[in-house]
Amino acid sequence: MPSAPERDNTVSNPVIPGFHPDPSICRVGEDYYLACSSFEYFPGVPVFHSRDLVHWTQIGNALDRPSQLRLPPDTRASGGLYAPTLRHHDGRFWLIVTNVSGDGNLLFTATDPAGPWSDPVPLPGVHGIDPDLAWDDDGTCWCTVAGVSQIRLDPYTGETLGESRRLWSGAPGAKAPEAPHLYRIGDYWYLLIAEGGTERCHGVSIARSRTPEGPFEPCPANPILTHRGTDHPVQNTGHGDLVQGPDGSWWMVFLGVRPQGGTPGWHVLGRETFLAPVTWVDDWPVVGEVALDMAAPPWPLHAPQVPPVRDDFDLSELGHAWISPRSRPAQHCTTKERPGWLSLRARGLSMDDPEVTFLGRRQQHLSCRARVLADPAEGRGGLAVRLDEQHHYEIEAAPGQVQVIARVGPFRSTVASRSTPSGPVVLRIEASTTREVTDARQGPDTVTLGLEDEQGTFVELTTLDGRYLSTEVAGGFTGRVLGMYASVGTVHFDWFDYEALED
């Protein structure tokens, strides 16, 4: 398998679709590893592996134990873990990240990026979000944070050395200089940052110096990546990280969104991980074309290919992709109570509750279908598509009945219901992207909720506008998550499947 995409091959973009923002990447030999932000979800910081920068497999979550990740019940949506940096140095992997919901900046290490990762090393002397790690030739470790400022750090103890000092912070007056990454490349130290905010004005800029402490000279072509003010199908491009392949090629991973519908355009999958080639001109990086669903140099790109997902809950442990808001106590979420089934025991009263028992996977396609076989004989619960506590749709089963519930901001309503025979029931949610925009107010997609009857025929209960489960409506930094929940008693689920539909 090649170590980097060949320039004339077909490549999928985004390379990690769905809610996978703030990518940070490193390479060890022929292997690439990448980590993303996870915000209020547990387990935290998904970790991926690839041999070619295109095909990525999730190999774990760096923070998968309560001793590593504290997200109290009052952790707000889009709180939690922000912007990890993943690096390999001195024979081990290092991951530094900010928990904005109480613990501040934390440092973790592992010999295997699949885990286990260490318990956290607190960094009380590091102030600011989006921390980065870089090492000088003499072993000095530099920690750089959004703002942009820098301090020397003992990464083994967490002790800071000396005083924090300001560095180059991008264009004068530019909003939110953040996501700094410091690199030694050739004769220069390069400081890569994001600026402009993570919305439509997002971009990536770079500066260089002969020393890691500066002074830094900005690139005359800044920003080196942005889609602000364009009609490009990929928007909000920023928060990049550079990596060199073993063949000498250079690449950038970065976040972007795919807005759909009319004005202002709504993105529902969250910020996704994209890939672009990088060349060097006069010792400055030049980011190549970012293409989506069209042929463009330096290589043609097509829609992301994520295989269908089927989980029959036959294993004692859940797969890496399953996530829950804030925590996942075993007594409320287990595959060991009823063999071959997932059992969810309610603790919150509904999907409105921050402590709801919910287990989901990120939505990764603009058009998709999710189905579950639910047994509500001992309670009430079902299948939901969630953005946060105030923005979600669900089809909920109770003995003899199903109902569709919609929560949009302060409004909550039961919008449809139907009687059902006793016993397990197949629940279904379909998202269908807007194929043709005929009105500036037209939403990005529709969300259809229903059930399957005893003959397997889909019975639609309602179709709702998808814009209300978008970042542009709800705010925040996350994307949709599809999954199962319990609101009363215990609900058992025999299987879950997810598949892409043609966009």
263 and 377 fall within a common domain: no
Cβ contact 212:185 at 8 Å: no
37 and 119 fall within a common domain: yes
202 and 338 fall within a common domain: no
Q: With respect to residue 473, please indicate whether it lies within any of the assigned structural domains.
A: yes
Q: Domain ends where: 247, 267, 302? A: 302
62 and 182 fall within a common domain: yes
- In SS3 terms, 101-115 reads as CCCEEEEEEECCCCC
- Please state the domain count of the chain: 2
Which residues, 6+ apart, have CB-to-CB distance to 410 below 8 Å? 390
CATH number, position 225:
2.115.10.20
What gap in Å lies between CA 296 and CA 287, rounded to an integer? 14
274 and 292 fall within a common domain: yes
The beta strand positions in 40-91, using DSSP E, are 41-42, 44-50, 57-63, 81-89
Domain assignment of residue 381, given as a range: 309-500
Q: Domain ends where: 256, 279, 302? A: 302
**Distances in whole angstroms, Cα of residue 115 to Cα of each of 81, 131, 354:** 18, 21, 28
Question: Checking phi first, is residue 7 left (phi over 0); if not, alpha (psi -120 to 50) or beta?
Answer: alpha
Question: Checking phi first, is residue 149 left (phi over 0); if not, alpha (psi -120 to 50) or beta?
Answer: beta
Q: With respect to residue 446, please indicate whether it lies within any of the assigned structural domains.
A: yes
Q: With respect to residue 1, please indicate whether it lies within any of the assigned structural domains.
A: no
402 and 419 fall within a common domain: yes
321 and 189 fall within a common domain: no
Amino acid 299: pLDDT:
46
Cβ contact 34:25 at 8 Å: yes
Q: With respect to residue 6, please indicate whether it lies within any of the assigned structural domains.
A: no
Q: With respect to residue 2, please indicate whether it lies within any of the assigned structural domains.
A: no
CATH number, position 355:
2.60.120.200
Which residues, 6+ apart, have CB-to-CB distance to 375 below 8 Å? 341, 423, 424, 491, 492, 493, 494
282 and 397 fall within a common domain: no
279 and 315 fall within a common domain: no
273 and 416 fall within a common domain: no
Q: With respect to residue 159, please indicate whether it lies within any of the assigned structural domains.
A: yes
**Is the previous residue joined to 415 through a cis bond, with omega within 30 degrees of 0?**
no
Question: Where in the sequence numbering do the catalytic residues fall?
Answer: 22, 178
| CA-based torsion, 446, 447, 449, 453: positive or negative | positive
Cβ contact 83:129 at 8 Å: yes
Compute mean pLDDT per 10 residues along the chain, 503 residues long, and list them: 60 90 98 98 98 95 97 96 98 98 96 98 97 96 98 97 95 96 97 98 98 97 97 96 97 97 96 97 95 48 63 95 97 96 96 97 97 98 98 97 98 97 96 92 96 93 98 98 98 97 77
pTM above 0.85, yes or no: yes
Amino acid 302: pLDDT:
52
339 and 208 fall within a common domain: no
Amino acid 297: pLDDT:
39
268 and 358 fall within a common domain: no
What gap in Å lies between CA 169 and CA 146, rounded to an integer? 9
Q: Domain ends where: 257, 281, 302? A: 302
Q: With respect to residue 3, please indicate whether it lies within any of the assigned structural domains.
A: no
Q: Is 354 exposed, middle or buried (0-12, 13-18, 19+ CB in 10 A)?
A: middle
The tokens describing 222, both together, are 């800044």
Q: With respect to residue 5, please indicate whether it lies within any of the assigned structural domains.
A: no
Amino acid 158: pLDDT:
97
